[in-house]
Amino acid sequence: MSEEKQETRGLVIVYTGHGKGKTTAALGMCIRAAGYKKKIKIIQFIKGTWKYGEMDGIKLLEPYVEMEQRGKGFVGIVDDKEDISTHIRAAEEALQYSREAMNSGQYDHLILDEINVAINLKLIKVEDVVQLIQEKPEQLHLILTGRDAPQEIIDIADLVTEMREIKHPFQKGILAQQGVDY
């Protein structure tokens, strides 16, 4: 694509739905952008205590891609020993950290992984995320992932993709697979 035909406005992109692939779609965008030597920051809002393959895989894309887990892990599941106030504080701090990263001028893409889940769990307010989106620098691509994206975010996004589960291996008793699910 010639330089004069390229659009330079940053987009707000949402990957949502109950099917698998939301974070994976955002990470795929990282690979594409890193190929153009773009700088990408990934901030994970929920994931925090488990080990995921993407943590080591992202390191292979350095210096173009950085990822930080700012959450305290999945909320309310079997091994969650944190008080809800700890999760709320971590999510609020992650949102503030996201704002700082967004406004730093260091990044071309900012991925807020599982931010929709943080909203739905009432760890952060949708109004605060809408405000963050409205403050987005013009050139920055802002990507939000997580199931159940609020309508307010869908309405202001430029691109929304919904992953819909049609079939899942868990229905056959097949557990999560390394390199596929985590």
Residue 5 clears pLDDT 80, i.e. is over it: no
Where does the pLDDT of residue 88 fall: very low under 50, low under 70, confident under 90, or very high at 90 and above?
very high
pLDDT of residue 77: 65
d(CA 30, CA 111): 9
Structural domains for the chain: 8-164 (3.40.50.300)
How buried is 66 (Cβ within 10 angstroms: 0-12 exposed, 13-18 middle, 19+ buried)?
A: middle
Residue 39 clears pLDDT 70, i.e. is over it: yes
Which of these ranges, 15-19, 75-79, 110-114, has the smallest mean pLDDT?
75-79
Cβ 150 vs Cβ 127: under 8 Å? no
Within a 10 A sphere around the Cβ of 166, how many other Cβ atoms?
A: 5
Residue 105 clears pLDDT 90, i.e. is over it: yes
d(CA 99, CA 85): 21
Cβ 71 vs Cβ 146: under 8 Å? no
pLDDT of residue 72: 72
pLDDT of residue 124: 97
Q: Is the pTM of this model over 0.85?
A: yes
Q: Which two tokens stand for residue 139?
A: 């050139």
C-alpha distance from residue 179 to each of 30, 52, 68, 111 (Å): 17, 9, 19, 21
User: Packing angle between helix 126-134 and helix 84-103, nearest 10 degrees?
Assistant: 10
pLDDT of residue 122: 96
pLDDT of residue 3: 54
Residue 21 clears pLDDT 60, i.e. is over it: yes
pLDDT of residue 7: 66
d(CA 71, CA 86): 9
